[in-house]
Chains A and B, each alone.
Chain A
Amino acid sequence: QKEVEQNSGPLSVPEGAIASLNCTYSDRGSQSFFWYRQYSGKSPELIMSIYSNGDKEDGRFTAQLNKASQYVSLLIRDSQPSDSATYLCAVFYNQGGKLIFGQGTELSVKP
Protein backbone atom coordinates (compact mmCIF):
# COMPACT_ATOMS: atom_id res chain seq x y z
CA GLN A 1 0.00 0.00 0.00
CA LYS A 2 1.50 3.27 -1.10
CA GLU A 3 1.40 5.88 1.60
CA VAL A 4 1.85 9.52 2.27
CA GLU A 5 2.25 10.41 5.92
CA GLN A 6 1.90 13.70 7.73
CA ASN A 7 1.68 14.66 11.38
CA SER A 8 -1.97 15.48 12.00
CA GLY A 9 -1.16 18.28 14.43
CA PRO A 10 -2.51 20.61 15.43
CA LEU A 11 0.62 22.65 14.93
CA SER A 12 0.41 25.95 16.71
CA VAL A 13 2.78 28.84 15.95
CA PRO A 14 2.71 32.51 16.94
CA GLU A 15 2.06 35.17 14.33
CA GLY A 16 5.25 36.08 12.48
CA ALA A 17 6.97 32.77 13.15
CA ILE A 18 8.00 30.11 10.63
CA ALA A 19 5.63 27.16 10.34
CA SER A 20 7.21 23.89 9.21
CA LEU A 21 5.02 21.14 7.80
CA ASN A 22 6.45 17.74 6.98
CA CYS A 23 5.50 14.81 4.78
CA THR A 24 7.07 11.45 3.99
CA TYR A 25 6.13 9.09 1.21
CA SER A 26 6.81 5.46 0.44
CA ASP A 27 7.16 5.22 -3.35
CA ARG A 28 10.73 5.94 -4.48
CA GLY A 29 9.54 6.32 -8.08
CA SER A 30 7.37 9.38 -7.34
CA GLN A 31 8.38 12.51 -9.22
CA SER A 32 5.70 15.10 -8.47
CA PHE A 33 4.69 16.55 -5.14
CA PHE A 34 2.06 19.05 -4.14
CA TRP A 35 0.89 21.04 -1.17
CA TYR A 36 -2.78 21.96 -0.84
CA ARG A 37 -4.34 24.28 1.71
CA GLN A 38 -7.84 23.57 2.97
CA TYR A 39 -9.80 26.01 5.07
CA SER A 40 -12.50 24.58 7.30
CA GLY A 41 -15.57 23.67 5.27
CA LYS A 42 -13.86 24.47 1.97
CA SER A 43 -12.21 22.39 -0.74
CA PRO A 44 -8.43 21.95 -1.11
CA GLU A 45 -6.60 24.69 -2.95
CA LEU A 46 -3.23 24.09 -4.63
CA ILE A 47 -0.50 26.31 -3.21
CA MET A 48 2.79 24.69 -4.26
CA SER A 49 4.16 22.02 -6.53
CA ILE A 50 7.72 20.69 -6.58
CA TYR A 51 9.41 18.21 -8.87
CA SER A 52 13.18 18.51 -8.25
CA ASN A 53 15.34 18.05 -5.20
CA GLY A 54 15.99 21.23 -3.28
CA ASP A 55 13.94 24.28 -2.46
CA LYS A 56 11.24 26.09 -4.37
CA GLU A 57 10.09 29.46 -3.14
CA ASP A 58 6.84 31.30 -3.84
CA GLY A 59 6.29 34.38 -1.73
CA ARG A 60 6.14 33.35 1.94
CA PHE A 61 6.00 29.67 1.01
CA THR A 62 8.98 27.38 0.43
CA ALA A 63 8.64 23.75 -0.56
CA GLN A 64 11.59 21.45 0.06
CA LEU A 65 12.11 18.06 -1.54
CA ASN A 66 14.59 15.32 -0.69
CA LYS A 67 13.95 12.29 -2.85
CA ALA A 68 16.73 10.23 -1.27
CA SER A 69 15.03 10.57 2.12
CA GLN A 70 11.54 10.48 0.57
CA TYR A 71 10.69 13.65 2.37
CA VAL A 72 8.89 16.82 1.34
CA SER A 73 8.20 19.83 3.51
CA LEU A 74 6.48 23.20 3.40
CA LEU A 75 7.78 26.24 5.23
CA ILE A 76 5.57 29.26 5.78
CA ARG A 77 7.52 32.37 6.75
CA ASP A 78 5.99 35.28 8.65
CA SER A 79 2.94 33.17 9.48
CA GLN A 80 -0.36 35.02 9.59
CA PRO A 81 -3.65 34.08 11.28
CA SER A 82 -5.09 33.73 7.76
CA ASP A 83 -2.67 30.82 7.23
CA SER A 84 -4.62 28.81 9.81
CA ALA A 85 -5.90 25.82 7.82
CA THR A 86 -5.23 22.17 7.15
CA TYR A 87 -2.32 21.53 4.79
CA LEU A 88 -2.47 18.42 2.63
CA CYS A 89 0.61 16.82 1.12
CA ALA A 90 -0.03 14.96 -2.13
CA VAL A 91 2.27 12.67 -4.11
CA PHE A 92 1.66 11.62 -7.70
CA TYR A 93 2.08 7.89 -8.26
CA ASN A 94 2.78 7.16 -11.91
CA GLN A 95 1.42 3.66 -11.55
CA GLY A 96 -2.30 4.26 -11.68
CA GLY A 97 -1.92 7.96 -12.44
CA LYS A 98 -3.30 9.08 -9.12
CA LEU A 99 -2.55 11.64 -6.47
CA ILE A 100 -2.19 10.09 -3.04
CA PHE A 101 -2.98 12.47 -0.19
CA GLY A 102 -1.72 12.56 3.34
CA GLN A 103 -4.15 13.00 6.20
CA GLY A 104 -3.27 16.66 6.48
CA THR A 105 -1.68 18.81 9.18
CA GLU A 106 -3.83 21.35 10.96
CA LEU A 107 -1.99 24.65 11.42
CA SER A 108 -3.09 27.29 13.88
CA VAL A 109 -1.40 30.70 13.83
CA LYS A 110 -2.05 32.63 17.03
CA PRO A 111 -2.16 36.46 16.94
Chain B
Amino acid sequence: DVKVTQSSRYLVKRTGEKVFLECVQDMDHENMFWYRQDPGLGLRLIYFSYDVKMKEKGDIPEGYSVSREKKERFSLILESASTNQTSMYLCASRTTAQETQYFGPGTRLLVL
Protein backbone atom coordinates (compact mmCIF):
# COMPACT_ATOMS: atom_id res chain seq x y z
CA ASP B 1 0.00 0.00 0.00
CA VAL B 2 1.10 3.52 -0.76
CA LYS B 3 1.81 5.47 2.36
CA VAL B 4 2.04 9.24 2.50
CA THR B 5 2.69 10.70 5.93
CA GLN B 6 2.67 14.26 7.17
CA SER B 7 4.64 15.46 10.15
CA SER B 8 1.73 16.89 12.14
CA ARG B 9 -2.03 16.45 12.18
CA TYR B 10 -2.65 19.71 14.04
CA LEU B 11 -0.45 22.76 14.37
CA VAL B 12 -0.93 26.12 16.07
CA LYS B 13 1.47 28.94 15.19
CA ARG B 14 1.71 32.66 15.75
CA THR B 15 1.64 35.32 13.05
CA GLY B 16 5.11 35.93 11.68
CA GLU B 17 6.50 32.53 12.63
CA LYS B 18 8.31 30.39 10.09
CA VAL B 19 6.40 27.13 9.67
CA PHE B 20 7.64 23.86 8.22
CA LEU B 21 5.24 21.15 7.05
CA GLU B 22 6.83 17.89 6.07
CA CYS B 23 5.58 15.13 3.84
CA VAL B 24 7.15 11.71 3.32
CA GLN B 25 6.13 8.96 0.89
CA ASP B 26 7.48 5.44 0.86
CA MET B 27 6.69 4.34 -2.72
CA ASP B 28 9.55 5.97 -4.61
CA HIS B 29 7.13 8.36 -6.33
CA GLU B 30 8.70 11.00 -8.53
CA ASN B 31 5.90 13.54 -8.18
CA MET B 32 4.82 15.25 -5.00
CA PHE B 33 2.25 17.97 -4.40
CA TRP B 34 1.11 20.41 -1.74
CA TYR B 35 -2.48 21.61 -1.62
CA ARG B 36 -4.53 23.66 0.74
CA GLN B 37 -8.23 23.07 1.22
CA ASP B 38 -10.67 25.66 2.46
CA PRO B 39 -14.47 25.54 2.73
CA GLY B 40 -16.07 26.72 -0.49
CA LEU B 41 -12.73 26.96 -2.32
CA GLY B 42 -11.94 23.29 -2.78
CA LEU B 43 -8.44 21.92 -3.23
CA ARG B 44 -5.93 24.47 -4.45
CA LEU B 45 -2.45 23.52 -5.63
CA ILE B 46 0.36 25.45 -3.95
CA TYR B 47 3.52 23.82 -5.31
CA PHE B 48 4.55 20.55 -6.88
CA SER B 49 7.76 18.76 -7.69
CA TYR B 50 8.62 16.32 -10.47
CA ASP B 51 11.96 15.27 -9.09
CA VAL B 52 14.55 15.93 -6.46
CA LYS B 53 15.51 19.62 -6.28
CA MET B 54 12.83 20.49 -8.84
CA LYS B 55 9.80 22.59 -8.01
CA GLU B 56 6.97 24.21 -9.90
CA LYS B 57 4.51 26.85 -8.77
CA GLY B 58 0.92 25.83 -8.55
CA ASP B 59 -2.10 28.10 -8.50
CA ILE B 60 -1.45 29.88 -5.19
CA PRO B 61 2.30 29.92 -4.40
CA GLU B 62 2.40 33.35 -2.79
CA GLY B 63 3.62 33.23 0.80
CA TYR B 64 4.95 29.68 0.46
CA SER B 65 8.14 27.97 -0.58
CA VAL B 66 9.10 24.31 -0.87
CA SER B 67 12.12 22.09 -0.58
CA ARG B 68 12.80 18.68 -2.04
CA GLU B 69 16.30 17.50 -1.13
CA LYS B 70 15.40 13.79 -1.13
CA LYS B 71 13.01 11.91 -3.36
CA GLU B 72 10.79 10.74 -0.53
CA ARG B 73 10.45 14.07 1.26
CA PHE B 74 8.71 17.29 0.22
CA SER B 75 8.57 20.20 2.62
CA LEU B 76 6.26 23.20 2.55
CA ILE B 77 7.54 26.35 4.20
CA LEU B 78 5.52 29.32 5.32
CA GLU B 79 8.18 32.01 5.51
CA SER B 80 6.14 34.32 7.75
CA ALA B 81 2.83 32.80 8.75
CA SER B 82 -0.28 34.93 8.44
CA THR B 83 -3.83 34.36 9.65
CA ASN B 84 -5.06 33.87 6.08
CA GLN B 85 -2.85 30.79 5.89
CA THR B 86 -5.02 29.02 8.43
CA SER B 87 -6.17 25.99 6.49
CA MET B 88 -6.01 22.25 5.94
CA TYR B 89 -2.78 21.36 4.13
CA LEU B 90 -2.68 18.17 2.10
CA CYS B 91 0.34 16.46 0.61
CA ALA B 92 0.01 14.00 -2.25
CA SER B 93 2.28 11.88 -4.41
CA ARG B 94 2.17 9.79 -7.56
CA THR B 95 4.48 7.96 -9.86
CA THR B 96 5.08 9.35 -13.34
CA ALA B 97 3.87 6.08 -14.89
CA GLN B 98 0.37 6.51 -13.49
CA GLU B 99 -1.96 9.44 -12.91
CA THR B 100 -3.37 8.03 -9.68
CA GLN B 101 -2.53 10.37 -6.83
CA TYR B 102 -2.43 9.45 -3.15
CA PHE B 103 -2.96 11.84 -0.27
CA GLY B 104 -1.47 12.09 3.18
CA PRO B 105 -3.71 12.52 6.24
CA GLY B 106 -3.49 16.33 6.18
CA THR B 107 -2.24 18.97 8.59
CA ARG B 108 -4.75 21.39 10.05
CA LEU B 109 -2.85 24.63 10.65
CA LEU B 110 -4.16 27.45 12.81
CA VAL B 111 -2.30 30.75 12.68
CA LEU B 112 -3.14 33.11 15.54
Residues of A participating in the B interface, judged by any CB pair closer than 8 Å: 32, 34, 36, 41-46, 49, 88, 90, 92, 97-99, 101-104
Contact = CB atoms under 8 A, between A and B. Distances in A.
Given A44-B90, A46-B100, A103-B42, A97 B31 contact: yes
Given A32-B99, A98-B45, 10 more contacts: A34-B100, A42-B106, A43-B104, A44-B43, A44-B90, A49-B100, A90-B101, A92-B99, A97-B96, A103-B40
B31 A101 contact: no
B74 interface: no
B42 A102 contact: yes
A34 B103 CA distance: 13
Interface of B: 31, 33, 40-43, 45, 48, 50, 58, 90, 96, 99-106, 108
Contact of A43 (B31, B96, B100, B103): B103
Quick one: which of A42, A43, A103 has the most chain B CB within 10 A?
A43
Contacts of B42: 88, 101-104
Contacts of B99: 32, 34, 49, 92, 99
Given A32-B99, A92-B99, A97-B50, A43 B43 contact: no
B54 to A, nearest CB: 12
Nearest to B94: A99
Contacts of B43: 44, 88, 101
